[in-house]
Amino acid sequence: MKNLFLFLAISLSYQSIGQINPNPSGSVDALIQSEMNIEHFPGVSTIIVKDGEIVWIESYGYADVDNMVPVEDTTVFLLASMSKVFTGTASMQLFEQGLIDLDTDISSYLTWPLDIPGYESDSVTIRQLMTHTSSIEDGPAMDLYYDYPDPTITLGDCIQRYFSMSGADYDPIDNFFDNAPGTAYNYSNMGTALNGFVTESVSGIPFDDFCDDNIFDPLCMEKTAWHFADFDSAHIARPYQYTGGNYVAYPHYGFADYPDGQLRSNSLDLGNFMIAYLNGGALGANSILNQSSINQMWTPQVPALDPTQGINWYQEELFYSGGSSMLWGHNGGEDGVSTDMYLDPINNIGICVLTNGEGDALYICDELYDYALSLNPVASIIPECGGTNSIDTLTSENAEIVKIVDFMGREIDFQTNVPCIILYSDGSTERLMQVGQ
């Protein structure tokens, strides 16, 4: 990482000091900083995983412009709609356990019937919620569910108010589309919120706690949570709008329909998540899904309506030198937030870009993907999770570790977050840096 502090009048191109990037590139840095200036991103955090390891991690700019707090690789960002792939993951876990059926009428999981007005004989299913084909519309009542910094009504209250015919916010016109479920594609935040509530209802566990126990803890995602109150606020990037040549901060906010976009996380945690998905649902000894569930999520579900839509994940075209590829992922956009995460299971690559601004980060995604495709890593970071990446387990075939040295050749004791070279008794070597948060 650079130790140069570069300040420009309006554009913020300070590259922060944090995790050592195992494969730095000045040209990639320059492109990202140029896009930050064009798109008015105060801060950006980026990560690339490849073949089960972190091969790039770099952060830029400011998490807090007014106080000049730099973005670190552990800085937490609001993910906005990128959160939906986590909500979908929780549902697929229940599906694997036989607790839900993706194609059963969702009313069987609720204490009140859910019907699309005018199409009461047609079932709404979990698969439709996860593919934006449920005919559920994001009505103006959603504005009532925002609060600062966390929602003050529960997910259950929010869902009952919006969907139950006796609910205070029920509106047969504004809350639903005028088409039968399964017949049209209409992006729906409230559909995802309902899906999260089904997980809560079926499991008997609050949705945020369910994700802690079944996704975040197994993947060692220690800086990932659904509510602002779960963090030290000093570690959360402020959301910003760019207006009149200045960055103006939004207050930290949340919303009661939180499974559709309120998750907060950082690059390192999301690296673990991407590696797990690319590795058939497993990170080290821990697993969150099986490969068949991931294959189903990464299969177009409604090709006649939207050929890119899988289960919560969708396909996005990313460009590289000489061509383009369709990757599975999700973006997110909220007030002061723009995020992207895309995975290429063929080349075993995942990229993620987190920002606290309102621009478009796809050009940054293109650059990272192009770099990842051609990258032959000289070093990498192996996430320390799942009990299989301890220094005690490192071997080269049947060889034993002789010594550990730093990149200057000096013998050192093994430490997390310190790059090193492992020397084995058979003469082989391995470059390694384990991440400990």
State the first-to-last Cα distance of the chain, in angstroms, to the nearest integer: 18
> What's the pLDDT score for residue 425?
57
In this chain, the answer to whether the domains covering 26-80+228-374 and 84-209 adopt an identical fold is yes
Residues 6+ apart with CB under 8 A from 420: 404, 405, 406, 407, 412, 414, 431, 432, 433
pLDDT of the chain, 437 residues: tens digit per residue:
333 222 222 233 445 445 699 999 999 999 999 999 999 999 999 999 999 999 999 999 999 999 999 999 999 999 999 999 999 999 999 999 999 999 999 999 999 999 999 999 999 999 999 999 999 999 999 999 999 999 999 999 999 999 999 999 999 999 999 999 999 999 999 999 999 999 999 999 999 999 999 999 999 999 999 999 999 999 999 999 999 999 999 999 999 999 999 999 999 999 999 999 999 999 999 999 999 999 999 999 999 999 999 999 999 999 999 999 999 999 999 999 999 999 999 999 999 999 999 999 999 999 999 999 999 999 999 998 865 444 444 444 456 676 676 655 556 766 655 666 776 655 555 666 555 55
The arrangement of secondary structure in 26-80+228-374, i.e. its CATH architecture, is: 3-Layer(aba) Sandwich (3.40)
Residues 6+ apart with CB under 8 A from 422: 394, 396, 401, 404, 429, 430, 431, 432
> What's the pLDDT score for residue 131?
98
Residue-wise pLDDT for 71-94, tens only, equals: 999 999 999 999 999 999 999 999
Q: How far apart are CA 343 and CA 63, in angstroms?
A: 26
Domain-by-domain residue ranges, the chain? Answer: 26-80+228-374, 84-209, 390-435
Residue-wise pLDDT for 104-154, tens only, equals: 999 999 999 999 999 999 999 999 999 999 999 999 999 999 999 999 999
Q: Are 194 and 201 in contact (CB under 8 A)?
A: no
> What's the pLDDT score for residue 415?
62
> What's the pLDDT score for residue 6?
28
> What's the pLDDT score for residue 392?
44
> What's the pLDDT score for residue 403?
67
CA atoms in the 13 A half-sphere facing the CB of 86 = 36
- Report in angstroms the alpha-carbon separations of 25 from 32, 41, 72, 322, 360: 11, 20, 18, 20, 22
Report the CATH fold assignment for 84-209.
Beta-lactamase (3.40.710)
